Structure 1
Amino acid sequence: MNIQIGDEITLSEEVVPENTAKTWGSGSLPVYATPAMCTLIERAAVALLSDKLDEGMTTVGTKLNIAHVSATPVGGKVDCHCTLTEIDRKRLEFHVEVTDAKGRVGIGTHERFIVEAESFMEKAEHKFD
């Protein structure tokens, strides 16, 4: 495992009709959806860790604490800057900030846990046995 506090990444996406609040059902307006922003945040954290974990290991998202503070219309671009701020055994915490051309769109933290993929899936698949 090769992860360090301070590791960072920026992931971007264009606001299109498919990732608006109106389409996601999280609101009635054609602006960047909060659930789309949450997905971008998780994707950024996953991308940051993609080549840093030991074989057979992965991460699962466990917590998001975000504020969506500004609307971005269709045609705008949003950037998610994700920085690893804490490592506590298998728990990882990230500071995230989402911006567009005019400034801050969202800010918060995201938590993920490192798990062994095979045993995690075995447990999940037998959850209702």
Structure 2
Amino acid sequence: MFIGVLEDGSGTLRYINAGHHPPYVLRGNGGVEWLSSTGLPIGLYSGHGYQEARVTVAPGDLLFFYTDGLVETENERGEMFDRPRLERFLVAAHTDGVDAVLERIEREVRQFRGNAEPLDDATLMAMRL
């Protein structure tokens, strides 16, 4: 689970990431950062808290969220789509509109998977600041 609050005017995104795959911040200049986990998945162990993290974002940055089904998609040879591959496509698409980024990633994953059956669902979400 990922919960974030974007503070109006300051460009500060406060968040906790409870064991979710790290969302990405695509900077307007083409840089890529990921928002690391700040705690264990919810319900895994009782009594563990979560640390709040902060990142500064700017107009033109893109936040990209995804579920494990995206990076764990396997092709016919059993290879995973994986995070480094996702990062390459995100960097290449960093100036595209939100719809174009999502469509490009979905197209690349389908091409990569080929005729292999998907083993998990995949959800993608993006927002341009």
TM-score, length of structure 2 as denominator length:
0.24
More strand by share: 1
TM-score, length of structure 1 as denominator length:
0.24
